[in-house]
């Protein structure tokens, strides 16, 4: 690890609020498989295995927060909020706020094709960082960050309309304007060890108006619909 890389990771430690005993673990959490592949080191560590663990830790802490807030609340409501908080879009936002995207080790070839701007990659790295926190400092270390990150998001209004459904909101708005219903196209599905990343497009009268990504077709389509909804609201379509 170069002195420059160590300095970057130490700065990230400050933002995470945790001093790592094993800084290499944090570095691994920020290493994409494309970087390992280009280095021709099959045994070199990357973050795919950590993503799976981080996803589970995030789900546990968020569920715990929701239970503490409303122990006897309806399961459906809690599931909806949890789904929003563990979605790729939310995790990508958290990653960006922490400066994680700029620290991801990614292969030159993948960077050339713009993979580093893929927000599902940011979300994956965020999950891996959470796993690194958990492995290095236990559940309290990971929980401390997640509670700080998600506390203000538990009661935040959903970015979708209405009831968290951007597709329905877009359809209703287009209907009011006398337009045909939007259509959705899933354009890619990239398989990782523990899940698939989907990318979808929202088309209005044959034109691509919004694109989205997510860990399910529904999530990717909702993100595409949200972006299309923003576009429709900002200009006359």
DSSP 149-218: HHGGGSSSPPSSTTTT-HHHHHHHHHHHTTPPPPEEEEEEEEE-SS-EEEEEEEEETTEEEEEEEESSHH
- Starting at the edge strand found earlier in the chain, the sheet holding 196-204 runs 183-191, 196-204, 207-214
Spell out the residues 6+ positions from residue 40 whose beta carbon is closer than 8 angstroms to its own.
none
How would you classify the pairing of strands 207-214 and 196-204? antiparallel
Residues forming the active site: 55, 127
Helix (H/G/I), strand (E/B), else coil: 23: helix
Per-residue model confidence as pLDDT tens digits over 130-184: 999 999 999 999 999 999 999 888 766 554 434 457 888 888 888 888 888 899 9
- The token duo for 70 is 């409303």
Residue 124, pLDDT above cutoff 50:
yes
String of b and e for 174-202 (b: at least 16 CB within 10 Å)? beeeeeeebebeeeeeeeeeebebbbbbb
Considering the entire predicted model, what is its pTM? 0.69
Per-residue model confidence as pLDDT tens digits over 13-47: 999 999 999 999 999 999 987 766 656 555 558 88
What whole-number distance in Å separates Cα of residue 58 and Cα of residue 142? 8
What pLDDT was estimated at residue 154? 78
- The token duo for 190 is 């990239």
Residue 105, pLDDT above cutoff 90:
no
Name the least confident of 67-81, 87-101, 198-212.
Answer: 67-81
What whole-number distance in Å separates Cα of residue 181 and Cα of residue 175? 7
Could you tell me the domains of the chain? Answer: 3-153 (1.10.1520.10), 166-234 (3.30.160.20)
What pLDDT was estimated at residue 167? 86
Burial (Cβ within 10 Å: 0-12, 13-18, ≥19) of residue 121? buried
């Amino acid at each position: 690890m170069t002195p420059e890389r160590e300095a970057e990771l130490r700065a990230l430690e400050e933002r995470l609020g945790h001093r790592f005993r094993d800084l290499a673990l944090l570095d691994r959490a920020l290493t994409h498989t494309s970087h390992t592949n280009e280095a021709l080191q099959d045994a070199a560590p990357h973050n795919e295995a950590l993503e799976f663990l981080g996803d589970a830790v995030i789900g546990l802490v968020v569920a715990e927060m929701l239970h503490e807030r409303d122990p006897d609340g309806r399961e459906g409501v809690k599931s909806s909020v949890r789904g929003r908080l563990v979605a790729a879009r939310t995790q990508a936002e958290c990653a960006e706020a922490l400066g994680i995207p700029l620290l991801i080790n990614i292969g030159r070839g993948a960077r050339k094709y713009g993979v580093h701007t893929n927000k599902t990659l940011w979300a994956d790295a965020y999950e891996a960082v959470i796993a690194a926190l958990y492995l290095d400092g236990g559940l309290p270390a990971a929980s401390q960050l997640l509670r700080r990150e998600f506390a203000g998001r538990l009661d935040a209004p959903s970015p979708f309309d209405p009831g968290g459904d951007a597709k329905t909101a877009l359809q209703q708005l287009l209907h009011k304007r006398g337009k045909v219903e939007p259509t959705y196209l899933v354009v890619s599905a990239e398989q990782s060890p523990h899940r698939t990343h989907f990318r979808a497009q929202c088309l209005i009268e044959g034109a691509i108006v919004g694109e989205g990504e997510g860990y399910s077709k529904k999530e990717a389509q909702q993100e595409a619909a949200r972006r299309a909804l923003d576009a429709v609201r900002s200009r006359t379509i």
